[in-house]
Structure 1
């Protein structure tokens, strides 16, 4: 029942779909493999720019990558999607390698990344 419980945690529901984890190949989650897997999916995501990023992200068939310029831009975009917009030392608290991964109204992932994150992951951006 912390500061952000009602806004971000309370709406989370327990999965009610059975998953046969033993039949799935989860080797990409191993420490040596995951970074390569993550870079691959982020780099293959369709870049979305400009205004109306929520509408654009919703209408794209596939994964989406949104680049933010600075802290103010990150906070603005995060609020548009209703995700946690807090940063610590200039890095979003919910990020992996500086990239925030979330879903919005679809099962497709959206990658919200800063220019430094893409550079560190060696992903080209316009």
Structure 2
């Protein structure tokens, strides 16, 4: 007699499930793809499971929402920003509090920040405020 298993009920509730044999011994685990993003940080990135799940759950960047893109890129951006500061460079960004016009930017150094005004035509920068 063949036994069948309807995976639709597992997919609907989206939770991890353990498969057991007739003696109730664990035989395997069903990991819904929706759950992978929560589990992934605790799984070794070099193991076969991680590589397989990344392939199955990969979504090209242009198919992602803006929030998904931000979440996906944020760790990489943070690494680059940290490397910049360690190399004596600075990071540039804008915020709503200090950058009240499109030509104002913040230069973030390891030990201070500067509010600068940039001339779009010449690229010349003028420091407006330091250590704020």
Using structure 2 for the length normalisation, give the TM-score: 0.22
Higher radius of gyration, 1 or 2: 2
Using structure 1 for the length normalisation, give the TM-score: 0.22
